Amino acid sequence: MKEIVAKIRLAHQQLRLTNFEFYFDTIYNFTTENVAGYMDKFDLKDKSLLTVGSSSDQVLNAYYCGCKDITLIDINPFIKEYFYLKKAAILTLDYEEFFKFMSIQGDKNFNFKALNKRTYRNVSENIDDRDSKRFWDEILGGHNKQIVKLKLFSFDTMSNDEIKNQNNYLKTEENYKQLKSKIKKLKPKFIVEDIYEYQLDKKYDNIFLSNIADYYEVDSTHKLYKRLQDNNLNKDGKILVSYLYKTNKDTPYEEKYCKIYNLEKTLPLFNDVKIETVKSFDKEDPRDDSILTYKKK
């Protein structure tokens, strides 16, 4: 009870801000990665997964692909609440209704109907976590939805076409229906911590680190990678060490890029990782993305 009250207070505080002081407290509405493009590079069926990602899309895609034991770790304090909102929306709404309610950008620059109170009243009946329901009843029921979208969610959003292409569970209406038919059973574990600092006490078959290396020094990411490799990865397990946008092994490094993108220096340090290509759906800049991966023998 105390924990959810504290989260509600934090959300209220953020909604009153005039700027974005709490960068990591903003929720990603949907993933900005081509998750569908790398899911088939991992053995997920009936396996365990540790993943970051406040959008919950890594969780939903992995479960769609047959993953059974999923833990979501993220520094964002609202990861559990947002997952249960998204899950309830899938259970409640049809394919097109889901996008109208959940997609902040939509097909144009801003979807003014996203997170509206009328649809939320129906969705809330399927939020099967009491604290998460209390959180959204308070936030979506007590604030202007446009303020909530602007201050609780990241501006780094995708169009509906990009969202569909990048998520297996949203690629087609049939895929969406398949997830809807079994998502009631999905109850991941949640750890609200900085994975760079938090000491995990479990081993996993797969670990997804998304693009969090963008926000840390390369040496820190290397230390995290070695710790996870030694202590938290099962034999034959695989780590997605970093997602790299518009980058492959031949892409020239520019100083404006994050340090992890300097592959001339990164790859010798991470000398046992592999760079794998992931298709980009960006019409304006069609250069492919990449992932750095390691598989434990």
Same domain for 208 and 185: no
Same domain for 254 and 119: no
pLDDT the model gives residue 284? 82
Q: Which residue segment(s) compose the domain that 63 sits in? A: 2-22+31-190
- pLDDT tens for the chain, residues 1 to 297: 678 888 878 887 777 765 544 445 789 999 999 999 999 999 999 999 999 999 999 999 999 999 999 999 999 999 999 999 999 999 999 999 999 999 998 766 778 889 999 999 999 999 999 999 999 999 998 777 788 888 888 878 888 999 999 999 999 999 999 999 999 999 999 999 999 999 999 999 999 999 999 999 999 999 999 999 999 999 999 999 999 999 998 999 999 999 999 999 999 999 999 999 999 888 888 899 999 999 998
Q: Is 139 left (phi over 0), alpha (psi -120 to 50) or beta?
A: alpha
CATH number of residue 219's parent domain = 3.40.50.150
pLDDT the model gives residue 22? 45
Same domain for 155 and 38: yes
The DSSP line for 153-199 is: B-S----HHHHHHH-GGGSSHHHHHHHHHHGGG---EEEES-TTT--
pLDDT in tens, 123-144: 999 999 999 999 999 999 877 7
When divided into structural domains, the chain yields a total of 2
Q: Which residues contact 187 (CB under 8 A, 6 or more apart)?
A: none
Same domain for 231 and 140: no
HSE-CB of 23 using CA atoms within 13 angstroms: 2
Residue finishing a domain among 190, 217, 236: 190
Same domain for 200 and 153: no
Same domain for 280 and 161: no
Same domain for 209 and 178: no
Same domain for 70 and 18: yes
pLDDT the model gives residue 23? 47
CA distances in angstroms from 164 to 160, 192, 289, listed in the order given = 6, 28, 17
Same domain for 225 and 138: no
Same domain for 132 and 15: yes
Same domain for 157 and 36: yes
